[in-house]
């Protein structure tokens, strides 16, 4: 029996949702939303790093940023002027400046390496242990924590814009790359990547939802349910990639980050309210032991592949 005010109402709502279509396909819905957010975030962050490095290497007129001032001065702009740090058009038309483009690519490559290492190395390690831990803690908690880690990382990405604007002496507002916009503070991007990787990102999420389906599906439907997860992964990538491209073209980086934060919040709510958290019975654990081992191996391979190729 639960008392009024002690979470009884929330438990009743959760139990009601678990008996609906959302509860029946909670893992698929959560995974689909997560993959949309992931596929929106990855290309956006890569472009954001490239733009941030360019703005740091060649600050717009009036900006004196925290690190990159060695190129500030004596450079000819797209309009033909020179000197004085007037680089407002450099990053907007970087292809017109081959020497500067090479400088930006060289610096961005280093940051991309650091970003990928911080993002994927913790996930490779976590996926080795989170499977056994989720046997005791339940599958819901890894799902929620992974979404929380991504949300925290995106907040840090957005803060890098605000902090960079404050360090420039401005208000921290405006569009990145726009005239008078802030120059992002790059170390916060790397901190965000470390936070996101420390919560397991896609590797731990995939392990958790596959294990959840193995625990909470009938033996004769398990292959179909696991196939549904694969379908949700690919469909989510498609939807997220298209959405990110359209939003970046029209609205800029910050709006994509805000959208990703909203989707991750929806993932947390979906998992918290619709996913079951009871421990699997002995019969289910025995029947799905082969599936569990196979899923963990697959996730380890995917995590290593992500660190090398994504």
CB atoms within 10 A of CB 235: 13
Q: Which residues of the chain fall short of a pLDDT of 70?
A: 1-7, 10, 18, 60-90, 168-181, 278-310
- Name every residue whose Cβ is closer than 8 Å to that of residue 54 and which is 6 or more positions away in sequence: 90, 91, 94, 104, 108
Q: How far apart are CA 213 and CA 222, in angstroms?
A: 7
Q: Helix, strand, or coil here: 22?
A: helix
Architecture of domain 21-70+87-309: Up-down Bundle (1.20)
Torsion sign over Cα 263, 265, 266, 272: positive
Q: How far apart are CA 66 and CA 3, in angstroms?
A: 55
Q: State both tokens at 154.
A: 């995106």
CB atoms within 10 A of CB 21: 10
Angle between helix axes 26-57 and 186-198 (nearest 10 degrees) is 160
Question: How high is the pLDDT of residue 170?
Answer: 53
Residue 276 has what DSSP assignment?
-
Residue 220 has what DSSP assignment?
G
Q: Helix, strand, or coil here: 131?
A: helix
Question: How high is the pLDDT of residue 194?
Answer: 95
Question: How high is the pLDDT of residue 285?
Answer: 45
Torsion sign over Cα 211, 240, 259, 185: positive
* Phi, psi dihedrals of residue 82, rounded to the nearest 5°: -150, 155
Q: In this predicted model, what pLDDT tens digit does every residue of 84-98 receive, in sequence order?
A: 444 455 677 777 778
- Name every residue whose Cβ is closer than 8 Å to that of residue 40 and which is 6 or more positions away in sequence: 240, 241, 243, 244, 247, 256, 259, 260, 263
Q: State both tokens at 184.
A: 């992002």
Q: In this predicted model, what pLDDT tens digit does every residue of 238-247 receive, in sequence order?
A: 999 999 999 9
Query: Which residue ranges make up each domain of the chain?
Result: 21-70+87-309
Q: How far apart are CA 124 and CA 212, in angstroms?
A: 20
Question: How high is the pLDDT of residue 286?
Answer: 46
- Please state whether the predicted TM-score (pTM) of the whole model is above 0.85: no
Question: How high is the pLDDT of residue 12?
Answer: 74
* Phi, psi dihedrals of residue 76, rounded to the nearest 5°: -90, 130
């Amino acid at each position: 029996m639960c008392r009024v005010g002690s979470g009884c109402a929330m438990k009743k709502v959760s139990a009601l949702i678990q008996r609906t279509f959302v509860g029946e396909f909670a893992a698929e819905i959560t995974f689909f939303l997560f993959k949309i957010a992931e596929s929106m975030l990855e290309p956006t962050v890569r472009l954001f790093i490239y733009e941030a490095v360019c703005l740091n290497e060649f600050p717009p007129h009036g900006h004196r940023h925290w690190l990159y001032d060695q190129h500030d001065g004596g450079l000819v702009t797209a309009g033909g002027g020179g000197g004085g740090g007037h680089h407002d058009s450099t990053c907007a038309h970087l292809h017109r400046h081959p020497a500067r483009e090479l400088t930006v690519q060289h610096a961005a490559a280093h940051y991309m390496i650091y970003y990928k290492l911080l993002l994927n190395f913790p996930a490779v390690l976590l996926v080795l242990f989170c499977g056994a831990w989720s046997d005791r803690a339940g599958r819901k908690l890894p799902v929620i924590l992974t979404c929380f880690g991504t949300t925290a990382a995106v907040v840090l990405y957005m803060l890098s814009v605000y902090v960079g604007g404050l360090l420039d002496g401005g208000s921290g507002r405006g569009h990145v790359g726009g005239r008078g916009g802030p120059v992002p503070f790059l170390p916060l991007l790397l901190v965000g990547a470390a936070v996101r990787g420390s919560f397991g990102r896609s590797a731990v999420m995939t392990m958790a939802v596959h294990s959840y389906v193995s625990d909470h599906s009938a033996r004769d439907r398990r292959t179909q349910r696991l196939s549904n997860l694969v379908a949700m992964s690919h469909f989510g990538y498609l939807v997220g990639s298209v959405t990110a491209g359209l939003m970046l073209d029209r609205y800029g980086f910050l709006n994509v980050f805000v959208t990703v934060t909203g989707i991750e919040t929806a993932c947390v709510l979906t998992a918290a309210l619709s996913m079951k958290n009871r421990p699997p019975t002995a019969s289910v654990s025995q029947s799905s032991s082969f599936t569990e081992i196979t899923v963990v191996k697959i996730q380890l391979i995917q995590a290593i592949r992500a660190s090398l190729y994504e």
